Amino acid sequence: MTAAVSIRDLCFSYEKDPVISHLDLTLSTATITAVLGANGVGKTTLLHLLLGLFEPDSGEIRFFGRPAHNYSQTRRKQLMGMVSQNDTPPFDLRVDEYVLLGRAPHLGLLTIPGDKDRSASAAALSTVGMTHMAGHAVTRLSSGEKQLVNMARSLAQEPDILLLDEPCSHLDLINSRQMLVLMKTIAEQGRTVVFTTHDPNAAAAVADQVLLMKKGELVAAGTVTQTLTRTLLTRTYRGDVEVIETERGPFVRAV
């Protein structure tokens, strides 16, 4: 099957310092990829490059075998969804109105959302367990509630590739677990999920592929068992890390 994402020799810098250096990467369709690495190594930048917020300095990104720059703006917005950590609407909206904005890439410029759009939005809100907040103002939500609502907006969008920047960073224990289960469900539906995380155990729980990043380069890419090792994690984080093997896979903690 054609890869959902393939990246060849990708380089990017905001100013002079390289943030992404000669990155090669393949993400299979309908899989979950976790991106791990210390603060500031370029994880979010990688997601933003996939989303098309920035142009690479050199190298190539392909989606489903087709160069990213060959997609129209509209098609790319249908293709890719992103949940950032601190997404907030530019003006005050109710939760249900905000989630409905996720349908925008499927609507013409002056088209009013129809029943299909409203039911996709309602289903997305229900999936993240936030139906009871539909009438609340987004600006008054807690950080975790906002994260769930942002996820709902991206689910309503029904993208082929879903990019999640630290999707559990504001979530409580149970919602974190549910977010991981939801990611599994989304991948089983045939969508490709990429998420950044500071929690190797979240990666261990759901990822088909783990990318370990250090200063814009890959320390390693592979399965959970191949990547979540003491040697590779210590190299990635430049600090001592312990990996305890359990029946459910590796459990990682800093020592």
Ligand X SMILES: Nc1ncnc2c1ncn2[C@@H]1O[C@H](COP(=O)(O)OP(=O)(O)OP(=O)(O)O)[C@@H](O)[C@H]1O
Phi, psi of 18 (to 5 degrees): -65, 135
- Shortest CB 237 distance to ligand X, Å: 11
Q: Which residues contact ligand X by CB under 6 A? A: 14, 19, 37, 39-45
* Amino acid identity for residue 104 in this structure: A
Check if the beta carbon of residue 212 is closer than 8 Å to that of residue 219: yes
Which residue, 16 or 248, is less far from ligand X as judged by CB? 16
- Shortest CB 189 distance to ligand X, Å: 27
Which residue, 199 or 208, is less far from ligand X as judged by CB? 199
- Shortest CB 38 distance to ligand X, Å: 7
Which residue, 134 or 207, is less far from ligand X as judged by CB? 207
- Shortest CB 97 distance to ligand X, Å: 29
Check if the beta carbon of residue 213 is closer than 8 Å to that of residue 50: no
Q: Rounded distance, CA 38 to CA 23, Å?
A: 17
Q: Rounded distance, CA 10 to CA 56, Å?
A: 7
Q: What phi-psi label fits residue 173: left (phi over 0), alpha (psi between -120 and 50 degrees) or beta? A: alpha
Q: What phi-psi label fits residue 216: left (phi over 0), alpha (psi between -120 and 50 degrees) or beta? A: left
> Which of 177, 178, 209, 205 shows the shortest CA–CA distance to 193?
209
Residue identified by tokens 């087709």 is 66
Which residue, 40 or 114, is less far from ligand X as judged by CB? 40
Which residue, 44 or 150, is less far from ligand X as judged by CB? 44
- Shortest CB 125 distance to ligand X, Å: 27
